[in-house]
Structure 1
Amino acid sequence: MPKAMCRDTTLAAVCQGPLFPPRVHLLLAPQVHLCYHTRAVRLAAMALLFLWCNQGSAMGRFGGPMGRRPAPPKPEPGDRPKVILGDKGRALMCRGADRMAHLLGLTLGPVAGNVVSAKDGGSERYETLTDAATIARRIIALPEQTEDVGAMIMRQLVWRVRQRVGDGSATAAVLARAILREARRVITAGANPMMVQKGIDLGVAAAVKALQEMAEPLEGQERFAALATGACGDPDLGRIVGEIFETIGPEGVVNVRDYIGNYLDREYIEGSRFRGSFTSRFFLTDVTHRLVQMVRPYIFISDWNLSQVEQVQPLLELVVRDQTEKRPLLVISASQEGGALSTLLANHQRQVLQCCGVTLKGVGDPLRAALDDLALITGGR
């Protein structure tokens, strides 16, 4: 069996650099004598010495020469940010906006076109769209990043018009594309971009003023029907819409619902309705038909979550104190529970004051909008 002796041999490691603790900056193994009989023993000794050198180190490994920090990996060419300036950037952004506006403009005009969109899942693989705002929402991104910036700006413009006005999304896209083309042309010719923007603002104000002067209010069922038919392309639907707006007037509200059938129908409701539920069945005055009948009630509308007695006690005292004629109390809020609901029920069941608690359907912005509508209808302040 071969045997070798290693004497007077120093195996030492010095850890250098700011990444290692100060206690490691020294000669770790002075005058370490090793005797080894096989290669395995030698490798084990080297491993122990390596772990000893790494004890207390923040890195946990050595790269290259002992104690040096490994070099960070070089970024790939595709990971580097791309910055495009000048006319090239404007050209690519305008190209993306033009592509989006061209697609939306297909739905504009007396003979509106259709756009077929592929669906990711479900029984139907494709859907046919005619609304410009919906088409814009179906487009998530364009393949080219710089073009995608312009397309998303146009997409946001179209959707904001839809939210604020309800219609005219395709018209807004076509006008924006024309303005963008002319603005880029004059800027490329040497015009100041800020002066071009001021000119666009002045032009928009002048165009809006001229349109307001030329506008004529619609009057008569036939004109309403003609406008609705031009918007939807269905004469039967246009005729019914014209009848509806002639009947309810400019302050009326139209609620459109899906129905299983191959015909169109309408129903006129006097007054106002809202979707809600009673907070307790003990408020019902007609249990059979699940109705609450109140004559000239006081109405309290709030977006609070009523749960404490202190929230409803001042209201009840105010209503009871001003009782020249015994009028009931209707409480509409975001939620009603706990002590607040128990107080309303106790006054109602003991016939101290007829009360009714109601909560509306929905959460967040839809709930607040419904409460605002109710306050406006009932004259709340």
Structure 2
Amino acid sequence: VKPTLGPLPRFVGIESMTRDRPPELLDDAATIARRIIQIADPTADVGAMMIRHALWRMHETCGDGSATMATIAQALVQQATKAIAAGAHPALLCKGIERGVAQASADLRAGAVRPMSGRRSRELLAALARSVCHDAELRDVLVEIVDILGADGAIHVVNNDARRVDREYIEGAMWDSPWLTTGFATDAAQSIARISDAAVILLDGKLDSAVNVLEGLKRLYDLGHRNVLIIAGDLSDEAKTVLVQAKLSGVMRILPVKAPGFDAKRAVALQDLAALTGARILFGDAAAFASLAPEDVGSVRRAWATARQFGIIGGKRDPVALRNGIASVRRKIDDTLKLDEIAELRLRLGRLCGGLVIVRVGGATSKIQESRRDEAVRLSRTLQMAAGRGYVAGGGAALFKIAQTLL
């Protein structure tokens, strides 16, 4: 991985396991280490796999710095081995290393460059992107996105049918959860349902009883609501019939969608929806819907749903719940070590802060497209961390600058 250290692109060729595919040309230390499955010496292989895992965690968490990390790790092992051979106590060495890490981390944070806003911020992000990514098209798109959304925006990278890189800014918040029935589509050609100025009902359970559903709709009608977005765990056939009849009669416009996730994840998603819409979560089945109170009802300016996703725009936000939710998610991101959880938390933060963009990445071949998509994920993470926490010079230059404090 050493050849990749520094800002200039130096590639390492990795032969594919299947001979019918061309070799990979990689300039990222963590990905190179990831391609190493095993080394010949069984004893050395244990340490090599530990370093391999550490480099990948550095890559997933920060997006950059893996080559510097590998170089420092090698130097620490070499010097520690000499010191132990000369009679130094391993525990005292470990304690000294930990103290040095704490001091170096504090000095690096103090010297970090933090992009603020405006033209200077975009220039700093562009300079950082040039040192991390050599794909100009991808780089320019992601710099623009992070400059607009900031550190808390949600960036969702998907494949593009075309060869270019496209971006789509999504207003409001979106979840990967479908409508509960196709009978409420307002645009059959595009297979999408839209509703405006709607009341919002959040139900943790299933709308199962037609009598209770009818009673709940009557309560909403008496409260003056003619457009209703119902987010529920599920919908029975008889409840579906009642909702369809209400729509066909023209009395009310209803959009039923499935509550995102399951169990604990569903509870979290409903809490976020409650903060964004001002609604209160109803627990149980349709009986809870039948006995709803005025304070249980939230509102949104617009909502939409398809067979795969739904979104809301302009909800009646609960300021206290929203502020507490954002603070809670940020704390969890700082405290969580699991990479999958960090990615989910960042999506939650983007929904709560109202910033979401879909980046569609294409390529001339499937291999190039896959490589560009991985690069987009890595660069977006790096730029967002730089926008939120700042960045320092790479290639070990920042560590060299603070070396005097460690002597």
Would the TM-score normalized by the shorter structure come out above 0.5?
A: yes
1:123 deviates by 3.1
1:180 aligns to 2:80 (yes or no): no
Q: Which has the higher strand share?
A: 2
Mark the runs of 5 or more structure 2 residues left unpaired by the alignment.
278-316, 326-407
Contact 1:282 1:345 in 2 (8 A): no
Question: Residue by residue, what CA displacement relative to the aligned partner does 1:90-134 show, whole Å, maximum 9, x if unpaired?
Answer: xxxxxxxxxxxxxx2222211232121122226314222222222
1:279 to 180, 183, 186: 180
1:270: which partner in 2?
Answer: 171
In structure 2, the CA distance between the partners of 1:263 and 1:285, relative to structure 1 (3 Å rule), is closer
1:251 aligns to 2:148 (yes or no): no
Question: Residue by residue, what CA displacement relative to the aligned partner does 1:188-214 show, whole Å, maximum 9, x if unpaired?
Answer: 221221121111111111111111111
2:256 to 344, 352, 356: 356
2:143: which partner in 1?
Answer: 242
In 2, the alpha carbon distance for the partners of 1:174 and 1:180 equals 10
1:298: which partner in 2?
Answer: 200
Q: TM-score, normalised by structure 1?
A: 0.57
Q: Which secondary structure does the structure 2 equivalent of 1:230 belong to?
A: helix
In 2, the alpha carbon distance for the partners of 1:301 and 1:106 equals 56
2:242: which partner in 1?
Answer: 346
1:148 deviates by 0.7
Q: In the alignment, residue 152 of structure 2 is paired with which amino acid?
A: E
Q: Which has the higher helix share?
A: 2
In 1, the alpha carbon distance for the partners of 2:131 and 2:5 equals 11
In structure 2, the CA distance between the partners of 1:259 and 1:366, relative to structure 1 (3 Å rule), is farther
In 2, the alpha carbon distance for the partners of 1:364 and 1:107 equals 44
Q: How does 1:48-127 map to 2 (within 5 A)?
A: 104-121=1-18, 123-127=20-24
1:196: which partner in 2?
Answer: 93
In 2, the alpha carbon distance for the partners of 1:365 and 1:112 equals 44
Q: Which secondary structure does the structure 1 equivalent of 2:13 belong to?
A: strand
1:292 deviates by 2.0
Q: In the alignment, residue 255 of structure 1 is paired with which amino acid?
A: H
Question: Residue by residue, what CA displacement relative to the aligned partner does 1:114-170 show, whole Å, maximum 9, x if unpaired?
Answer: 121122226314222222222222111111111111111111111222233333222
Q: How does 1:309-348 map to 2 (within 5 A)?
A: 309=208, 320=219, 324-326=223-225, 328-331=228-231, 336=234, 339=236, 342-343=238-239, 346-347=242-243
1:61: which partner in 2?
Answer: none
In 2, the alpha carbon distance for the partners of 1:257 and 1:183 equals 45
2:304: which partner in 1?
Answer: none
Q: In the alignment, residue 33 of structure 2 is paired with which amino acid?
A: A
Q: In the alignment, residue 122 of structure 2 is paired with which amino acid?
A: Q
In 1, the alpha carbon distance for the partners of 2:186 and 2:56 equals 46
2:347: which partner in 1?
Answer: none
2:39: which partner in 1?
Answer: 142
Q: In the alignment, residue 231 of structure 1 is paired with which amino acid?
A: V
In 2, the alpha carbon distance for the partners of 1:278 and 1:375 equals 18
Range 138-147 or range 317-326, more displaced: 317-326
In 1, the alpha carbon distance for the partners of 2:150 and 2:87 equals 53
Contact 2:13 2:23 in 1 (8 A): yes
1:370 deviates by 8.1
1:208: which partner in 2?
Answer: 105
Contact 2:193 2:255 in 1 (8 A): no
Q: TM-score, normalised by structure 2?
A: 0.54
Question: Residue by residue, what CA displacement relative to the aligned partner does 1:205-237 show, whole Å, maximum 9, x if unpaired?
Answer: 111111111112124322221111111134454
In structure 2, the CA distance between the partners of 1:370 and 1:190, relative to structure 1 (3 Å rule), is farther
Contact 1:113 1:130 in 2 (8 A): yes
In 1, the alpha carbon distance for the partners of 2:275 and 2:29 equals 32
Contact 2:200 2:230 in 1 (8 A): yes
Q: In the alignment, residue 170 of structure 1 is paired with which amino acid?
A: A
Identity %: 32
Structure number with higher relative contact order (C-alpha < 8 Å, ≥ 6 residues apart): 2
In 1, the alpha carbon distance for the partners of 2:160 and 2:68 equals 31
1:277 deviates by 2.8
Contact 1:344 1:355 in 2 (8 A): no
Number of aligned residue pairs: 268
Question: Residue by residue, what CA displacement relative to the aligned partner does 1:297-343 show, whole Å, maximum 9, x if unpaired?
Answer: 426386xxx66849xx79x959957973426233265xx46x4x653
Mark the runs of 5 or more structure 1 residues left unpaired by the alignment.
1-103
In structure 2, the CA distance between the partners of 1:241 and 1:143, relative to structure 1 (3 Å rule), is same
Q: In the alignment, residue 298 of structure 1 is paired with which amino acid?
A: V
How well do the aligned residues superpose, as a CA RMSD in angstroms?
Answer: 4.0
In structure 2, the CA distance between the partners of 1:376 and 1:222, relative to structure 1 (3 Å rule), is farther
